[in-house]
Amino acid sequence: MSENTLTLRDRIEETLRTVFDPEIPVNIFELGLVYEIKIGDNNRVGIIMTLTAPGCPVAGDIIREVDEKVRDIEGVSDVDVTLTFDPPWTKEMMSEEAKLELGFM
């Protein structure tokens, strides 16, 4: 698929797959840390996400990376990343691929 045939949502998801929790060798999308992606007026993107633990020492770095990378996607006008711990993240939220990679299957 060329860049032009991917929807904005596809490009956002693809970009989120390039952001990793430094403590886990799996991207935040496959880990299930991204709860919601909303695309509003003028392609303003809202992302609701969580972390594997509330006290995550690299929380600021991960959120900043998500913001910067999504903001760099052509067509995105603005980005609003919201961090939530409701519901709390669990291993069940990971994709099958992530569970296999981490040996949870």
**Token pair 């993107």: residue:** 45
- Domain tally for the chain? 1
- Kindly state whether residue 63 falls inside one of the protein's structural domains: yes
Helix (H, G, I), strand (E, B) or coil at 36: strand
pLDDT of 3 > 80? The answer is no
Confidence of residue 2 (pLDDT cuts 50, 70, 90): very low
User: What is the average pLDDT across 2-7?
Assistant: 68
The pTM is what? 0.90
Q: Element (H or E) spanning 69, and its range? A: helix 59-71
CATH code for the domain in which residue 33 is found:
3.30.300.130
Tokens encoding 36:
């919601």
Q: 23-65 pLDDT, tens per residue?
A: 888 999 999 999 999 999 999 999 999 998 888 888 899 999 9
- Kindly state whether residue 55 falls inside one of the protein's structural domains: yes
- Kindly state whether residue 50 falls inside one of the protein's structural domains: yes
Cα–Cα distance measured from residue 99 to residue 62, given in angstroms and rounded to the nearest whole number: 21
Q: At what angle do helices 8-16 and 59-71 cross, to 10 degrees?
A: 150
Confidence of residue 4 (pLDDT cuts 50, 70, 90): low
